[in-house]
Structure 1
Amino acid sequence: MTQTAPSKRTQVGRLPKRGDYSKETIHGILDAAFLCHVGFVVDGQPFVIPTGYGRDGEILYIHGSAASRMLRNLEKGVDACVTVTLLDGIVLARAAFHHSMNYRSVVMLGTATLVEDAETKREALRIISEQIVPGRWDDVRLPNDQELKATTVLAFPIDEASAKVRTGPPADDEEDYGLDIWAGVLPLSLQPGTLIPDPRLKSGIDVVPTYRVGLQ
């Protein structure tokens, strides 16, 4: 496990004991999800855009339409903040003030780089696809040259990042533990449902049973 020193920008200020700067924790959280939120500012106006991603080592790949305002600005080297959050439970305390949530989150700061090499771009798209639905990439028609041209892929470094994690039961004031009020944790998880076939699916095509959503 490698412990990275937090930068001044990623140092956890509020409840610092929940901060974690190890690559093991940061990578683990990133690998357990596939949806991030990208924050950036253009002409003084802040934007926060949700998008899918895939991790490869110390790089987070994001992609979208070449006409995307977010990607067009990020490829210029605009400072960005990328966040990923996994909600694990609602913490129900005896006092309203001490209600909380159990969560795992990562905050990354930096600038993105445009992926221009065609082979690297294809590989980045495979990584993103496999993070969302492992195994799907090998079963579909791969992007052609025109589709690649219409798609922008950016590489975001994971070298300035921090994780923040809360686990466990509520932390009530000592005098409240004797109250006749139920307290504990309501676990939450995002679970895939039953697949719904495309109405235009050809007959005789069965779903691949190994498909699973990349959620942990």
Structure 2
Amino acid sequence: MTLSATPRTRLRRKRERQADDRALLHAVLDEALVCHLGIVDAHGAPLVLPTMHARVDDVVYVHGSTGAASLATEREVCLTVTLLDGLVLARSVFSHSANYRSAVVRGRARRVSDPEEHLRALWAVVEHLTPGQWNHARRPDPRETAATAVLALDLCEASVKVRQGPPGDPEEVPAGDRRWAGVVPIGTVLGTPETCPALPDDVAVPEHVRAWADRTRVAR
């Protein structure tokens, strides 16, 4: 369950923030709702795409358009996620920072072509973002399935970087210094679900949607 750093994933600065726990890698990927996929476009220019993802065991599935998938298939890509946990306000501007958990995954992207794996990947992405929605909404039809690409990226080469705790001002607090320092926590909280105006007035918010939104508020 450990992460073995490679020359591409070993931190060069702040090495004490590198974690080697694979379970932490899984947790960061599972909590993040958005990832960024770095690829090279048809003209050789670097391109970073925000998109949705889901982890199944040691594979990350990335949802995308067929055009983006064509650029990334069987090419080296870089997938990143960041969870911002707090703003760290120090007594000196130089020592300001942020508390965060981030993950970087490097590897060769594989386009999912097997129909069963493709459907499992779409299920994983939907359930990762909105638990319980796969059994509530209409399933994709053949045309929609063909228009939706999925990339798979193994978690063989990955790194996790974490910063937690109070400010790291190097000097002691001088007598009489009243400047405040500390951490302003940040978290993702879902708001109250808003029903689509096209629906009849008597269509209630499903219990799984209401419970999912409530859990995030309780957790904070």
When the two structures are superposed, what TM-score results if normalisation uses the length of structure 1? 0.93
Whole-angstrom distance in 1 between the partners of 2:202 and 2:178: 59
Aligned AA for 2:146?
K
SS at match of 2:149: strand
Matched, 1:94 2:91: yes
Aligned AA for 2:62?
I
| Aligned match of 1:48 | 48
Q: May I ask how many residue pairs the two structures share in their alignment?
A: 212
| Aligned match of 1:31 | 30
| Aligned match of 2:149 | 152
User: How far did 1:175 drift?
Assistant: 3.7
User: How far did 1:4 drift?
Assistant: 2.1
Matched, 1:121 2:118: yes
Whole-angstrom distance in 2 between the partners of 1:5 and 1:155: 21
Matched, 1:139 2:146: no
SS at match of 2:135: helix
SS at match of 1:103: strand
SS at match of 2:207: coil
Give 4+ residue runs of structure 1 displaced > 6 Å after superposition: none
User: How far did 1:174 drift?
Assistant: 1.9
Whole-angstrom distance in 1 between the partners of 2:127 and 2:170: 45
Whole-angstrom distance in 2 between the partners of 1:65 and 1:174: 51
Relative to structure 1, the CA distance from residue 177 to residue 14 in structure 2 (aligned partners, 3 Å threshold; closer, same or farther) is: farther
Give the percent of matched residue pairs that are identical in Structure 1 and Structure 2. Answer: 39
When the two structures are superposed, what TM-score results if normalisation uses the length of structure 2? 0.91
- Any unmatched runs of 5+ in structure 2? none
| Aligned match of 2:13 | 14
Contact 1:91/1:101, CA 8 A, preserved across alignment: yes
Whole-angstrom distance in 2 between the partners of 1:44 and 1:180: 53
Contact 1:21/1:161, CA 8 A, preserved across alignment: no
Aligned AA for 1:89?
G
| Aligned match of 1:162 | 159
39-48 or 192-201, which moves further after superposition? 39-48
- Any unmatched runs of 5+ in structure 1? none
SS at match of 1:138: coil
| Aligned match of 2:187 | 189
| Aligned match of 1:104 | 101
- Which of the pair has the greater relative contact order for Cα pairs under 8 Å at 6+ separation? 1
